Amino acid sequence: MSGKDKTYNGIFISFEGIDGCGKTTQSRALQEYFRSKGREAVLTLEPGGTLIGTRIREVLLQPEHKEMSPVTELLLYNAARAQHIAEKILPELKKGTVVITDRFTDSTTAYQGYGRGMDLSLINSINDIATNGIKPDLTILLDLDPEAGLGRNKSVNKVDRFELEALAFHQKVRKGFLEIAGMERERFELIDASLPVGEVSKKIAGMVNNRYGV
């Protein structure tokens, strides 16, 4: 739900990218940027953002849950997402707030579709049910070589079930993100995440200013 079909007057922004690309850092920086300009902005993440979503996140990311099937994974992500939208995202957007989320439906398409090889039309159908048609107004894709991203996470001892996947899996995920962005050029902004952190933040702030005059 975007453009003339929107039922809210806030701005919905998602950050996407492979593990270790800097989404958490840059989403926080963007929140601070909006606040510095006098706009109310809330930061959230997927899976999570609510108590129910946080519990589901714990199940999804635990390294010992190696036997989880791709279908279970897909349904759990979207269960968390449906709650996230109903409880947090949509109420804030209706108040006119800027909502910034660290991951949304594009991650499900990239990880479960391109990474796991699940049917993309099935994923899109379930995503649509969970979101009721709500899409980000802007998606910032932080593009980074998967080897570099995994190296960043290893350097800070960050390990979850997805980071234990082989490099080839993460390469497929990156390819997926780039293909999705290519299909929705108006919604996506591609940012080189290999640049220094401060430079990435400046590029994002400039792009947001160009789009929204903030």
| Cα R_g (the chain), whole angstroms | 16
- Give the C-alpha separation, 99 to 103, whole Å: 12
Q: 3 is written with which tokens?
A: 């453009």
The answer to whether residue 68 is domain-embedded is: yes
Exposed e or buried b per residue across 19-28, where buried means at least 16 C-beta atoms within 10 angstroms of its C-beta:
bbbbbebbbe
Q: Which helix (H) or strand (E) holds 33?
A: helix 23-36
Query: Is residue 159 scored above 50 in pLDDT?
Result: yes
pLDDT at 197: 96
DSSP state of 145: -
What average pLDDT does the chain have? 92
d(CA 86, CA 13): 17
User: The CATH number of the domain where 100 resides is what?
Assistant: 3.40.50.300
Side chain identity at residue 71, one-letter code: V
In a domain, 23, yes or no: yes
Look at residues 122, 118, 127, 57 and name the one whose alpha carbon lies nearest to residue 85.
127
180 lies in a domain? yes
Q: What is the pLDDT of residues 163-189, one digit of tens each?
A: 667 789 999 999 999 999 999 999 999
The residues facing 139 across adjacent strands are: 14, 188
Flag whether 3 is in a domain.
Answer: no
Identify whether 2 is part of a domain: no
20-77 residue pLDDT tens: 899 999 999 999 999 999 999 999 999 999 999 999 999 998 888 888 999 999 999 9
Q: Which residues of 112-139 are buried (b: 16+ CB within 10 A; e: fewer)?
A: bbbbbebeeeebeebbeebbeebbbbbb
The total domain count for the chain is 1
- Report field, pTM of the whole predicted structure over 0.85: yes
Asked whether the predicted pLDDT for residue 112 surpasses 80, the reply is: yes
User: Is 1 a domain residue?
Assistant: no
DSSP 8-state symbol, 142: E
Q: What is the DSSP letter of 165?
A: S
The tokens describing 176, both together, are 């997926």
Query: Which residue range forms the structural domain that includes residue 105?
Result: 10-212
Q: What is d(CA 156, CA 158) in angstroms, rounded to the nearest whole number? A: 6
Decide if 4 is inside a domain: no
Contacts of residue 202, defined as CB under 8 A and 6 or more positions apart, other chains included, come to: none
**Per the domain annotation, does 200 fall within a domain?**
yes
